């Protein structure tokens, strides 16, 4: 394969991954809103029906003496055994607001690296069906989704302007997978439809973060000497990700899924730290004054963006309870990192600003037209055939058709 063909192949592959990621990301609000309409007992559920500690202060899983908490595992609802998230949601499907539901909960067995939180190996807890308020939905999904959406848009925008630049390709993929890791977290805690997508994104973000730091704003000498070594940055995360995928639904022990999760959280925290170290090294010891100045701008943005996230990831990797830490503390600052890179690119005239404005206006108008068309088609089909927002296949087909129409319209 010639260098030119390889370059075109990379551009096409990155574009395809961004397209698939965009379709998945557009589907997330529909799945979240659909789940929010189902009966709710005031807690989120991990794989294998293990209760998750995150949530709102008023929920029964929160507070100093929570009625339920990690690592409780649900084994029965009103005396009927349940083994999967589908069976659990089905058992609650027809419950009414305020109706009491009896849950049978068990603790982890002895001999694994997860301590029980109650002395009784099995107990029964009665909880009422409550509503998920709009504020709770915003705190647990909306804030995450909007943060990821901004990151995704910045990544796609950068790639669209400099599609052949390796730094733009890596940056776009990093932003896409980081956005998916953030945006699919709510689904991971509720209906679990995108659980494996969440794990895939979480396993790729540490390697892409270090890769980007190694090639931008200037390639490190080691990477120049051994260009294929960049792929090694992905290996630790992929290895932990495969481990997490295998143990996600472990029949031998329902709590084992949390062990590779710790590793993924730790790898993401270490990748952030290593990226900061690499950028600091460039900022003070690079032979190029321009690179030093660029690196310092990105370093400052990285510190503001990643320090709150590192405060969350590192304790979480050691199973330290950080549910008390509000998501507003560590999520919104994430957008500072891509904004710092975008500012660096514009500040040093690596982009044609006039071209950006023309493309932004063009894409904005086309996006508005497509959104209007999507709404009209959805409303029309819903009036004719019933609510189609509950069918993700139909939604995916509609979104794919809109995406295919984008380029000819442009």
Portion of the chain with pLDDT greater than 70, in percent: 80
pLDDT at 353: 45
Architecture of domain 3-35+136-351: Up-down Bundle (1.20)
CATH topology classification for 45-130:
Pdz3 Domain (2.30.42)
Strand segments (E) across 174-224: none
Residue 391 has pLDDT above 60, yes or no: no
pLDDT at 126: 94
pTM of model > 0.85: no
The larger pLDDT score, comparing residue 63 to residue 127, is at 127
Q: What is the pLDDT of residues 306-321, one digit of tens each?
A: 788 777 766 765 666 6
Q: What mean pLDDT value characterizes the chain?
A: 82
Gap between the Cα atoms of 174 and 337, Å rounded: 11
For 370-387, give one letter per residue: b (16+ CB within 10 A) or e. Answer: beeebeeebeeeeeeeee
Least confident of 116-125, 176-185, 269-278, 378-387: 378-387
The residue written with tokens 């549910």 in the block is 323
Instruction: Count Cβ atoms below 10 Å from residue 309 Cβ, excluding itself.
Output: 19
State the number of CA atoms in the 13 A half-sphere of 314 facing the CB: 11
* Of 354, 351, 356, nearest in space to 341 by CA: 351
* Of 383, 384, 380, 378, nearest in space to 398 by CA: 378
Residue 14 has pLDDT above 90, yes or no: yes
Instruction: Count Cβ atoms below 10 Å from residue 101 Cβ, excluding itself.
Output: 16
């Amino acid at each position: 394969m010639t260098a030119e063909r390889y370059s075109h192949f990379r551009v096409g592959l990155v574009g395809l991954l961004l397209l698939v990621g965009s379709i998945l990301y557009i589907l997330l609000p529909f799945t979240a809103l659909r789940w929010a309409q189902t009966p709710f007992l005031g807690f989120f559920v991990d794989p294998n029906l293990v209760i998750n500690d995150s949530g709102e202060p008023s929920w029964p899983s929160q507070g100093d003496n929570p009625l339920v908490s990690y690592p409780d595992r649900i084994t029965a609802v009103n005396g009927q055994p349940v083994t999967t998230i589908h069976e659990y949601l089905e058992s609650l499907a027809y419950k009414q607001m305020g109706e009491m539901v009896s849950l049978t909960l068990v603790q982890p067995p002895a001999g694994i690296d997860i301590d029980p939180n109650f002395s009784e190996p099995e107990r029964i807890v009665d909880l009422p069906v409550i509503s998920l308020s709009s504020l709770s939905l915003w705190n647990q999904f909306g804030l995450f989704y909007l943060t990821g959406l901004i990151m995704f848009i910045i990544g796609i925008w950068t790639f669209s302007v400099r599609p052949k630049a390796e730094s733009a390709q890596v940056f776009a993929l990093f932003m896409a997978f980081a956005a998916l890791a953030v945006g699919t977290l709510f689904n991971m805690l509720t209906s679990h439809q995108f659980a494996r997508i969440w794990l895939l994104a979480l396993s790729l973000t540490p390697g892409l973060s270090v890769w980007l730091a190694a090639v931008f704003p200037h390639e490190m000498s080691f990477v120049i000497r051994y260009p294929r070594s960049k792929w090694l940055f992905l290996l630790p995360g992929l290895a932990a990700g495969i481990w997490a995928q295998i143990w996600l639904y472990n029949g031998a022990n329902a709590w084992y899924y949390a062990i590779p999760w710790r590793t993924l959280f730790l790898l993401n925290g270490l990748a952030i730290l290593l990226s900061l170290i690499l950028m600091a090294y460039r900022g003070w010891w690079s032979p190029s004054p321009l690179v030093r100045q660029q690196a310092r701008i990105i370093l400052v943005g990285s510190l503001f963006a990643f320090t709150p996230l590192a405060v969350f990831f590192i304790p979480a990797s050691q199973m330290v309870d950080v549910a008390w830490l509000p998501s507003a503390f560590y999520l919104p600052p994430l957008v500072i990192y891509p904004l710092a890179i975008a500012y660096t690119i514009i500040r040093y005239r690596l982009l044609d600003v006039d071209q950006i404005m023309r493309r932004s206006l063009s894409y904005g108008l086309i996006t508005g037209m497509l959104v209007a068309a999507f709404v009209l088609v959805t409303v029309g089909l819903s009036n004719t055939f019933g609510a189609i927002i509950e069918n993700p296949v139909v939604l995916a087909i509609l979104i794919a058709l809109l995406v295919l129409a984008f380029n000819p319209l442009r």
